[in-house]
Amino acid sequence: MKLYDTIVKKLPVPKAGNKITYDDDMPGFGVRVTAGGSRSFVLNYRTRSGRERRFTIGAVRIAGSEGWSVAAARKEADRLKREIDGGSDPLAQVQADRSQKTIGDLCKKFMEESRETNSEGTADGYQGQIDNYVLPILKSGTLVADVEPEDIQNLHRKVSKEGGPYAANRVVALVSHMFNRAIVWNGSKRDKGWALINPTKGTERNAEHNRERYVDPQTELGGLLKALDEHEDRQAVDVIKLAMLTGCRKTEALKARWDQFDGGNWTKLSHHTKQKKLHHTPLSAPALMLLDRLRSDAEAKAKQEGVEVSPWVFPGRIVGQPRDSVKNAWAEIREAAKITDVRMHDLRHSFASILASSGKSLQIIGKLLGHTNPNTTNRYAHLFVDPLREAANTVGALIDTGKPSAEVVDITRGRA
């Protein structure tokens, strides 16, 4: 169709991916609409070598926003086509412009920011996604401005196949976050060449269901404890036991420092380090006994070797660094315990499920787990069935027999 401003603004939004509507008067010139609602003008062309290219002219101007009108975009497309006919390649010229940033540049700058604003565990998780998926699939040398919605869909499809549906959604969410930051950076007069649009918008995500896997205290906990007692990697066993006894995250256990423990409490940075809040966790008697033994062993070893006690509760093989993983040991332990589908993080869910099943409130559970958002703790609300049933039975027994099922204490006689 012949493109006009009124037509461009009314083009329907596709259910997924993106759709390009081409102008009848100028071959290759069109407007791309994504499922996220973004609209931008593009020009398809062939180089003299026969390679097909797609050049993004810019975003559509809507309701007074910055962008291109149809007339201005068509004029720009006409100028570009004349250059192409003369042997020029607009995208190649963009690539030759050193101010244009690559995916490698984007990942590097994003991680520099991330390590300043996020917890070490979160930043490490981002780096893993970048190393395993983003750079291998999008390619380090690809220009940020060249990344199309089709590239993001391809990324999502490949990660879904290689890493699973949840991993694919997390990776696309990370890339979306990176491009949003790049748009902000591009607004700086001192730092140009980043992104003008976010190509992840409109990418259809995989359906997700909350994972609810807990170690069953009746049928599985005994086997897990037996496997832990019999495993030869005693340090890994202690890491896992600390996680079980406190409900902490794996990275929190691995990177625990002795100066975080004082007076029966474990003080650590909140998971949301932007707020720089401290999370104080009271420790149970078994957890304190475990830490006392580890401290005594560490002091005895340091005295024998004539060195200072390591600041890390679980020192790694590299001097001055904590242990970085219990992956292999955990795989062997859960194989022996016949719970191969249980992840380390599920131990945290198990800690919460035991508290919920014993009647502890969601507020208490959230405090112990260090949740800053109550909605995060609400996932355990369904586990209160047994305490609620017990409470209901108490009322039922009283109404049915006329007698309470437990001793009733008169509290009207005074505070004593």
Which pLDDT tens digit goes with each residue over 323-347?
Answer: 989 999 999 999 999 988 888 888 8
> Could you give the CA distance from residue 302 to residue 256 in angstroms, rounded to a whole number?
18
Token pair belonging to 16: 């997924």
pLDDT of residue 400: 66
Q: In what order do the strands lie in the sheet with 52-59?
A: 18-22, 29-34, 39-46, 52-59
CA 39, distance to chain mean position in Å, is 28
Higher pLDDT, 336 or 403: 336
pLDDT of residue 251: 86
Residue pointed to by tokens 């929190």: 252
Average pLDDT over residues 35-43: 92
Tally: H helices and E strands in the chain: 17, 7
**Segment 96-128, tens digit of pLDDT:** 565 678 999 999 999 999 988 887 778 888 999
Q: Which is nearest to 322 in space by CA: 122, 132, 130, 121?
A: 121
Mean pLDDT of the chain: 84
Which of 3-17, 299-313, 347-361, 375-389 is least confident? 375-389
Own/partner pairs, 116-121, CB within 8 angstroms, 24+ separation: 117/273, 117/274, 118/273, 118/274, 119/251, 119/269, 119/271, 119/272, 119/273, 120/251, 120/255, 121/249, 121/250, 121/251, 121/252, 121/255, 121/271
Residue 101 backbone phi and psi in degrees, to 5: -90, 155
3-class secondary-structure state, position 106:
helix
225 burial type by CB count under 10 A (0-12 exposed, 13-18 middle, 19+ buried) = middle
pLDDT of residue 392: 62
Portion of the chain with pLDDT greater than 70, in percent = 80
pLDDT confidence bin for 272, thresholds 50/70/90: very low
Q: Which is nearest to 362 in space by CA: 353, 135, 200?
A: 353
> Could you give the CA distance from residue 297 to residue 235 in angstroms, rounded to a whole number?
11
Average pLDDT over residues 180-207: 83
Instruction: Classify 325 in phi/psi space as left (phi over 0), alpha (psi -120 to 50) or beta.
Output: beta
Average pLDDT over residues 271-284: 63
Residue 416 has pLDDT above 50, yes or no: no
Residue 220 has pLDDT above 60, yes or no: yes
The full set of domains in the chain, from first to last, is 5-94 (3.30.160.390), 103-186 (1.10.150.130), 221-387 (1.10.443.10)
Torsion angle defined by CA atoms of residues 4, 5, 7 and 13, in that order, rounded to the nearest 10 degrees: 130
Which of 91-95, 392-396, 411-415 is least confident? 411-415
**Segment 41-67, tens digit of pLDDT:** 999 999 887 888 899 999 998 876 778
- β-strand partners of 257: 312
Q: Are 329 and 236 in contact (CB under 8 A)?
A: yes
Identity of the highest mean pLDDT range in 31-45, 57-71, 191-205, 357-371: 31-45
Which of 88-102, 130-144, 370-384 is least confident? 370-384
Higher pLDDT, 357 or 246: 246
Higher pLDDT, 279 or 140: 140
Portion of the chain with pLDDT greater than 90, in percent = 44
